[in-house]
Amino acid sequence: MDSNYDLVVIGCGAAGLAAAVSYAEAAATQEHRARIAVLERATKENRGGATRWTSSWFRITEDRRLDPNFIGQMEAVSGGRADLDYCRTLEREVPGTLDFLERHGVALIYFKQPFPNRNTGGGLGMPARGGLGIVDGLAAAVDGVNGAEIQYETEAVRLSLSADGGVDGVVVRGRNGMPRTLNSAAVVIAAGGFEGSPEMLARHLGSRGRDLPLVAPTLENNRGDGIRMAIEAGAGTAGQFDMFHGEPADPRSRKPDAVVYAFPYGIVVNRHARRFYDEGKDSFDATFEEFAFEIWCNQEQKAFLIGDQTTLAIEHVDKIILTDQPPLAAATIGELAPLLGVDPTALERTVAEYNAAVGPGRFDAHSRDGKCTRGIDPPKSNWAFPLNSPPFIAWPLTCAITFTFGGIRTDDSARVVTPAGQTIPGLYAAGEVTGLYYRRYPAGTSVLRAATFGRIAGAHAASAKAGARRAARR
């Protein structure tokens, strides 16, 4: 088997596939045949990492630009620690990324949200088939390139380094377990975060980190290998290693992405039947990460969303309840409590206190209506209506991990840099494997940045190759 490549990409999600396709596209304009290997630890049927399972909401405006509030939000939520040059590059390149995806068979849709109170700049776009559309579309584009291949059930073990400290290949292990080296002047690490590594989760989040369930199954392949390999080669890091993006998910469900976002339209209680979070603090996509983190960090990983028939009657509420399990239901709160394993008297008291505290005003699910509680702690700041329309309903909730925040440090050309900011020749990284977020994740930007910086990495590596060819001809 020929083991010489122009580009080796570690990972077959949005970032890795975008890198491979973008390299091939650039090589075609430079009229050289690109030899590209994309490594995927999973089988072909399970390819695509996190990208495979995401709905892939894009935080974009109607004219296909990144939400103009994004950079300000990143600066604010990270306390000034996020790399704003990286964010500005993302903002500049998002329109090009959307064109790139469409050019390579990924159909996109855009719509005004049924919940315009969302924290995403007014509207949202997404691939018509979610993240799977990106995986299938870009993988087909790779398959269509003469000289490119996706090597399934093949894991990258470590980087091969040249004498000058640059990267000249990847040591891989395939189905037969024997290590072999793929030689390449350029390597893009796009191997996702470390949510699939209980050991790394425990190291960075504390011992309870290893108990976090994954929000989707193939996240188990994202074991922090890319971060480890890059650090071994001298890379710096960025992003908050002891923080992650989690979501409130239904623990009864085996379905990937079985999340329940409807918590602003009811109340949430812990296993002691006590409220612990301002359910109406902001739109669900501004608070779901904080809410899920609170369940994991301070509520013993267990909570319940309690609602009634008014909750279920809210227009489009079904669109934000993605579990395949029906809610538990009972005619009275006292009868609902045993189904949840909580004390009936305590739950009745909590609901009665909440109902009595609901203030006046007009309920409007589609804007921050200011209809709040008075005199209870925690308050409910919006969308407070009394729970008095039986049957009463409840969804059990736990915090499921979606992705980690800490990763490799890169520059705005997706080149991996050392702690001192120097580039490591031949080494690129993109997507979740790179660190960006601190404290909070402004939703709808993770796939966009994966595809964008994957595209940038591929184009930069192709142009470096073209430069080297020109120099060799002189």
CB of 302 to ligand FAD, least distance (A): 21
Give the C-alpha separation, 57 to 50, whole Å. 13
User: Closest by alpha carbon to 109, among 122, 125, 120?
Assistant: 125
Give the C-alpha separation, 198 to 289, whole Å. 20
Q: Which is nearer to ligand FAD, 371 or 460 (CB)?
A: 460
Q: Which is nearer to ligand FAD, 283 or 402 (CB)?
A: 402
CB of 268 to ligand FAD, least distance (A): 21
Q: Which is nearer to ligand FAD, 130 or 264 (CB)?
A: 130
Q: Which is nearer to ligand FAD, 15 or 268 (CB)?
A: 15
CB of 47 to ligand FAD, least distance (A): 6
Q: Which residues pair with 36 in a beta bridge?
A: 7, 148
Q: Which is nearer to ligand FAD, 152 or 385 (CB)?
A: 152
CB of 80 to ligand FAD, least distance (A): 23
Give the C-alpha separation, 467 to 463, whole Å. 6
User: Closest by alpha carbon to 228, among 313, 163, 171?
Assistant: 171
Contacting positions for ligand FAD (CB under 6 A): 10-16, 39-42, 47-51, 53-57, 131, 155-156, 190-192, 215-216, 219, 221-222, 225, 256-257, 402-403, 431-432, 444-448, 450
Residue with tokens 């630890």: 41
Query: DSSP assignment, residue 360?
Result: S
Query: DSSP assignment, residue 317?
Result: G
Q: Which is nearer to ligand FAD, 322 or 358 (CB)?
A: 322
CB of 73 to ligand FAD, least distance (A): 14
Q: Which is nearer to ligand FAD, 384 or 397 (CB)?
A: 397
User: What are 50's two structure tokens?
Assistant: 């996190």
- What is the b/e burial string over 42-51, where b = at least 16 CB atoms within 10 angstroms of the residue's CB? beeebbbbbb
CB of 122 to ligand FAD, least distance (A): 16
How many residues are there in the chain?
474
Q: Which is nearer to ligand FAD, 322 or 351 (CB)?
A: 322
- Are 414 and 429 spatial neighbours (Cβ–Cβ below 8 Å)? yes
CB of 81 to ligand FAD, least distance (A): 19
- Are 151 and 140 spatial neighbours (Cβ–Cβ below 8 Å)? no
User: Closest by alpha carbon to 106, among 1, 32, 182, 17?
Assistant: 17
Give the C-alpha separation, 123 to 102, whole Å. 19
CB of 378 to ligand FAD, least distance (A): 27
CB of 165 to ligand FAD, least distance (A): 22
- Phi, psi of 178, deg, nearest 5: -85, 130
Which segments within 320-443 are labelled E, that is strand?
328-330, 392-404, 407-408, 415-417, 423-429
Q: Which is nearer to ligand FAD, 78 or 221 (CB)?
A: 221
